[in-house]
Chain A
Amino acid sequence: MASDRIVGIDLGTTNSLVAFMQGESPVVIPGDDGSNLVPSVVALDENNQPVIGNAARKYLTETPERAVYSIKRLMGRGVEDIQEELKFFPFRLAEDLQAGEVLRIKLGEKTFTPPEISALILRQLKRNAERFFGAPVTKAVVTVPAYFNDAQRQATKDAGRIAGLEVLRLVNEPTAASLAYGLDKKQNGIVAVYDLGGGTFDISILKLHDGIFEVISTNGDTHLGGDDIDNLLITIALDDTLGDLGLDLRRNAEAVQAIRNAVIEAKIALSSQPSVKLDVGLPGGKRYLREITREQFEQLIQPIIDRTVGPCKQALKDAGLKPEQIDEVVLVGGSTRIPKVRALVKELFHREPHTDLNPDEVVALGAAVQANILGGGSEATENMLLLDVTPLSLGIEVAGGVTDKIILRNSTIPASATQFYTTQVDGQANVAIHVLQGERELAKDCRSLARFDLKGIPAMAAGMARIEVKFLIDANGILHVSAREQRSGKEAEIQVQPSYGLTDEQVESMILDSFDSAEEDFRQRQVIEARNEADTILAALEKGKKSPAWGHLTTDEKKKIARTEKALIAVKAEDDYQAIRKAIDALNQGTSRLAELMMDTAVSTALKGKTMDEADMGEGPTAPHPMAKAEFQ
């Protein structure tokens, strides 16, 4: 079968992961820092070089104007859609942005579209996989929220192309999770997947039977997740500091980031502790102190998590099922760790949810399963087939600004519909078609997908032309349109003006390292990366030699370090990246005790550096709450 490795990628709001099928089970590929999760954070360093993931996080507090997180919230959206987001997120838009143009975000002095920023994350994952395999990776399955519309899907596909990845399939996140779940359980039945992540919420109801994963209905909210909880807590802190100290930090990005890190930590701790103490250093030397009990936290977040109820009920209704008919509810996404969320799910579906899966990893693992199926399958995935649906109805605008739905939501994809058009006046050569997505009756309330111009219609009397337009939603949930004038048999030309998308030419011009797939360039990059890594460890060793810990080493240990150090310096000058890596590993081993000793002697400083080890979020307006006044010191 296919010799190319196809990886599965979860491009998340907060974290992204890459996984592949190792033998009969999917595994996550760690990054060079050993972490399975790559935070979806992108920053530009002092030299305007992009930094991605854990390494980019420090820029969020140090140079927030050069860093961005939660970019997924802006994928496939126009400037008029994101006014609400701008209140909460420190996104800096390019000043010269025109209405109807694809958004551009400023990082330092440079500007990037959301697909370009996502592409930087995808490229990092691609590199992690290449490092792991020691071979180029060019094909991927990428997951998207089930409730993503056409523009958001297209933007994700574009991001793949820009990153040098051929996106073989976009898979809906809850569906991907069900694949990982089903691979494991091999049971028939009705499963609901409740997926509350960093920025999006999806609910999907599936029928699993004899290896077929058939989605019956799906619903969701592409702007609902852990971000919203963080933003609420940040708003409270900002209100407190403004009200009690008269200190307006809303435009102080560094301070907001510091608060954000603290509230995220607090939120996570509240899933396992009855209360937490927020303690954040503020500009001017004051400290913001507040205790939050779990009870208060649950009261605060109730309105946010309640927003998942409507979509769940609608999904059940669309599936024609009662909660009792669901055999299992699977939880996906970091926010489902919150006990209150679990309680809500239990109440909605009248049963304890299934919590055995790692909610951060299961989507990536499912993407790897789908990648395996697309690659021709293996023993484990034999007989497995995913039948997914389109989350939103597809319509066209008809007289009076009304939406005529031509493919209803929850139709199994691929799906198509054919419409016939005619001309209104003699000799009319063009017909304009406006395509919409959404459930509302009026066109203005639905999402505009694209405007098509059917051109080159042969000259005929009014009403004589019969133009057949075929709308096809492919297995990625992306729309394709073709048209034919039936009397002349002539293919009508279609000009697509995506309402919020990049053109092919734009994507082409954005492609990062178009040489990425070439074997030689791949090798060269590996050499450069290995050398950089060697430099890092050698520099760390120099530091170690000056630390008090060095004095505690035995002569033998010092000799071993000197030997492996020399070997690494020698091999670093050559072009063999595998040899460099071997030498790095040897030196790493030789210095392990030194590192341990350094940790002991510098525990306090080391830990300080590590407290940043959590997720990410923004700033916002005011939020009244039932808690007591905060303290300041």
Chain B
Amino acid sequence: MRAMHFCQACGKVQPPAPVDYFTFFDLPRKLDLDVAALDKVFYELSRKLHPDLNAQAGSQEQAWSLQQSSLLNDAHRTLKDPIKRTQYLLRLEGVELEEQSKTATEQARSTGEVKKQIVPPELLAEVFDLNMKLEELRTQKKMGEDDPALIEEIGNQKHDLEEKQEALLHELQRRWKVWDGMIQRESNGQPVSEEERRQERDKMVDVLNRRNYIRNLVRDVNEVLES
């Protein structure tokens, strides 16, 4: 299917077909993908699609090369990253991801809304404690003081959070294997129920949400520590 980017007869760049990123790379919608192999195809295609190498072509071909090349880069950027790849697949599957991004936080703050943020239950106590400490450090910094013991405590908690973040990535990778197995069964002709599909999606959404939450927390900590 990769051949679709080029003319079968003359090899020239063709206009991009309206396809998703997996299809663009001629890949099944599986998550545990071989990034090294993806990179290899990315470089191969770059050598053909990049505008620099089509600068002597006609203006139509140059325009196609620009579109194809941007699609190639967008697809590669998304698929090579484990989190972006999972989010992208879930969106393709119709899931609307609650972005707990900083942007959303700022937006909520500035419009006075209360942001919907689900604190993972197992983290409730820890988050509460960390937020108290962060507030204390903020106040101290405003006064021009620094309590090394407090900074160390926060640093330890941050380290702990980063380990949890890492562990969640591994959990996500386990979910990928289950998902990919399901897709494989499907392509072998065994029907997968919508219920099973939904359950698998929900599990991944849950891991992503928890990881996102921790990531934001780590970012807040860094912000205070570096301020």
Contact = CB atoms under 8 A, between A and B. Distances in A.
Contact of B106 (A387, A441, A475): A441
A249 B57 CA distance: 58
B220 interface: no
Contacts of A512: none
Interface in B37-90: 43, 46-47, 50-53, 55-56, 66-67, 69-71, 73-74, 76-77
B107 A412 contact: no
A373 B52 CA distance: 7
A400 B70 CA distance: 31
Contact of B77 (A399, A400, A402, A412): A412
Contact of A414 (B53, B70, B110): B70
Given A400-B107, A415-B74, A385 B55 contact: no
Nearest to A404: B103
Given A385-B53, A387-B50, A415-B77, A402 B110 contact: yes
B41 to A, nearest CB: 13
A476 to B, nearest CB: 9
Contact of B52 (A374, A383, A398, A399): A374
Contacts of A385: 46-47, 50, 52-53
A379 to B, nearest CB: 16
A472 B102 contact: no
B111 interface: yes
A441 B107 CA distance: 10
Interface in B4-59: 43, 46-47, 50-53, 55-56
Given A399-B107, A399-B111, A475 B52 contact: yes
Task: Give the contact-size bracket for chain A.
Answer: 35 or more
Contact of B70 (A169, A212, A416): A416
Given A387-B46, A441-B102, A398 B66 contact: no
A449 B102 CA distance: 22
Contacts of B52: 169, 370, 373-374, 385-386, 475
B227 to A, nearest CB: 14
Contacts of A399: 107, 110-111
A376 interface: yes
A499 interface: no
A474 interface: yes
27 contacts: A210-B43, A212-B46, A374-B52, A374-B55, A374-B56, A385-B46, A385-B50, A387-B46, A398-B103, A398-B107, A399-B107, A399-B111, A400-B110, A400-B111, A402-B110, A403-B103, A411-B73, A413-B73, A414-B69, A416-B70, A416-B71, A441-B103, A441-B106, A442-B106, A472-B66, A475-B51, A475-B66
Given A414-B69, A441-B106, 6 more contacts: A385-B50, A399-B110, A399-B111, A400-B111, A417-B74, A441-B103
5 tightest A-B contacts by CB?
A: A400-B110, A414-B70, A374-B55, A416-B70, A412-B73
Interface of A: 1-2, 168-169, 210, 212, 370, 373-376, 383, 385-387, 398-405, 411-417, 441-442, 472-475
Interface of B: 43, 46-47, 50-53, 55-56, 66-67, 69-71, 73-74, 76-77, 102-103, 106-107, 109-111
